[in-house]
Amino acid sequence: MEKGGMGMGAWAAGIGLVWAAGAQAQPYDKWVDAFFNSKDAFIQGTVIPNIEKNRKSDAALAFTDETGKPLAGLKVSVKQIEHAYLFGAVPPFETSQYAAPNYIKLWRDVFNYGITEYSFKWAANEKVQGVKDFTKADALLANFKASGAQLELHFLAGYHPDWVAALPDADKAKAQKDYALAALEHFKDKITYFQVFNEDMLTHVERAKVFSNQTIFFGDLSKLYPNLRLGINDCYVWNPASAAERFPTPTDLKSRYPGIKFIAMHGHRPHSYWATPQEMYKLFDPFTGSGVAVQLAEFGIMDEPIEGGHTGNWTDDLRAQYFISAYATVFSHPATDGFNAWGIGPDTNRWNANYMINQDGTQKPSYASLKSLIRDRLMTKAEGTSDAAGAYKYRGFRGSYLVTVDKGGVTGTTQVDLDEKTGTVTLKVTESAGKLVIQGGSVAVAAPFSAGQNPGRLSVSAEPGQAVVFTGLREFRSLEILDARGARLRGWQVFGDRVIWDRSEARAPGTYFVRGTPMLGNQVTRKLQLR
């Protein structure tokens, strides 16, 4: 993680020490180090400075007591626990064969975002004409959201269900748009990113065909759902050989798709191509400041001789080296907002050179490299003391942070979010029952929920309707919330180390129960007192 200040060294008094490259608390993966210490002039002069410039913000926390008086001299530590940027991969647990908790947690330990291959397509959710069934998709999405991960819907216009082929053309167009509208209405409050079309601007895959005018279709959806991020996806080429293969311009896209918010390229054509940072920037640069973001949505390679920026055949080391270069470069560019790898294993996807997880659950070197990059090198950890005005300042990557406060040996924890617009976050600190109660954070954080602990009480000071985060769930496969009578309110399959309960079923303070099922051993139930 990072230690130092804005780049290197410490800021002035009252501003946190932040761990940074060159003074890291622990060594990074060798390919992470190799990239950030590269002799390549473009990486050193453009990519790395842009990570600092485009993905970090200044943050200020203001601590007060219950009367609003500033609290000076508090020991403060902030630890980033999630990125605002969308670092993703197709979840390997979409097929039941790999739905075991170890695969799920391996995915969530690195990624905070995913695009599923099948579960949100038209064919999966309207198998019988007129019967739209989102049950499976809803269950998958609930677990995504509870873990804090985001899901991008792939995609509204296809692939077509089998029954579509027998319809007259006019009925095909109506059925397609009816499904798109139904899916948007169903998921509008749960998903932000929607691919409207896929593989029908450049490649024209038959089962993805749009049966009506694409401009009218897209424009109608944009008018109805202006706050959603609607975009398109297609298999654009890293090295176009003709004008017809070139990446479209923002102007072209805005004209053809009114209200478009992003364009996604698959990122796997040619199939074994090593795209250099310079090539990526050349593709992305026209989109800077355009209002249309760029994503890599199906990034992948096949196990064939390498083309492009390298030669030879893929090895474990070369895969790790390329993945680090690709993820870091895309992250650095201001026009991008997401990166999703297609088929990280152990599944049946044909992008087998992408595999980071083996069938037995062991990890390939590329998994360790990406985890080191995303969860270590590109995360911020800082500590310091609040100044005379009760302020503590730091600079960090945008995302969510656990804030721990120590006042004379009494501690408390909350969570805050840092984005481009975050100003000063005011946190009210009071003492109750030997703990610090911190109000003003984005969620209420419960004490770690451990399988090794005896059943006991979790007392959480949550503001009305405020979400509660349960942590320490590394060894759990599922978690449930029960009311005072023992009736089940909500349940989740645990995707990572934490579960976020939005409390949509339980807004009022009171007594609840949290029941966890470990991977090994008996269920653990703890009383939860929401104040």
- Please write the tens of the pLDDT for every residue from 246-271: 999 999 999 999 999 999 999 999 99
Report d(CA 393, CA 140) in Å as an integer: 38
| 35 membership: H or E segment, kind and range | helix 30-36
Please tell me the distance from the alpha carbon of residue 45 to that of residue 81, in angstroms, as a whole number: 29
At 252 the pLDDT is 97
**What is the arithmetic mean of pLDDT over 73-88?**
98
| Rounded-to-integer distance, Cα 364 and Cα 345, Å | 10
pLDDT at 20 over 50: no
Q: Over 80: is that where the pLDDT of 452 sits?
A: no
What pLDDT, on the 0 to 100 scale, is given for residue 354? Answer: 87
The region of weakest confidence among 4-18, 20-34, 465-479 is 4-18
Distances (CA, A) of 114 to 88, 153, 188, 191, 227: 5, 9, 17, 12, 20
- Give the Cβ contact number of residue 352 at 10 Å: 15
Residue type for position 438: I
Average pLDDT for residues 173-177, to the nearest whole number? 98
Residue 96: predicted pLDDT:
62
The predicted-structure confidence for 475-489, as pLDDT tens digits, reads as follows 999 999 999 999 999
Q: Read off the amino acid at residue 469.
A: V
Task: Enter the tokens of residue 499.
Answer: 């579960």
Lowest mean pLDDT among 12-26, 223-237, 383-397, 478-492: 12-26
Identify the band that residue 450 occupies on the pLDDT scale cut at 50, 70 and 90: confident
Q: How confident is the prediction for the chain on average, in pLDDT?
A: 91
Q: Strand 468-470 relative to strand 86-89: parallel, antiparallel, unpaired? A: unpaired
Kindly give the pairing relationship between strand 86-89 and strand 336-341. parallel
Those residues with Cβ within 8 angstroms of residue 290's Cβ, 6 or more apart along the chain or in another chain = 250, 335
CA 227 vs. chain centroid, Å, equals: 19
CA-nearest of 226, 292, 215, 222 to 261 is: 292
468-470 and 444-445 beta bridge pairing: parallel
Q: What is the distance between the alpha carbons of residues 221 and 223, in angstroms, rounded to a whole number? A: 5
**Given a cut of 90, is residue 15 above it in pLDDT?**
no
Residue with the bigger pLDDT between 373 and 12: it is: 373
Sorting pLDDT into bands at 50, 70 and 90, what band is 10? very low
Is the Cα dihedral 94, 89, 28, 53 positive or negative? negative
Closest CA to 77 of 353, 453, 436, 384: 384
Percent share of the chain, pLDDT over 90: 79
Q: Do residues 202 and 236 lie in contact, with contact meaning Cβ atoms separated by under 8 Å?
A: yes
Give the percent of the chain with pLDDT over 70: 92
Predicted local confidence at residue 309, as pLDDT? 97
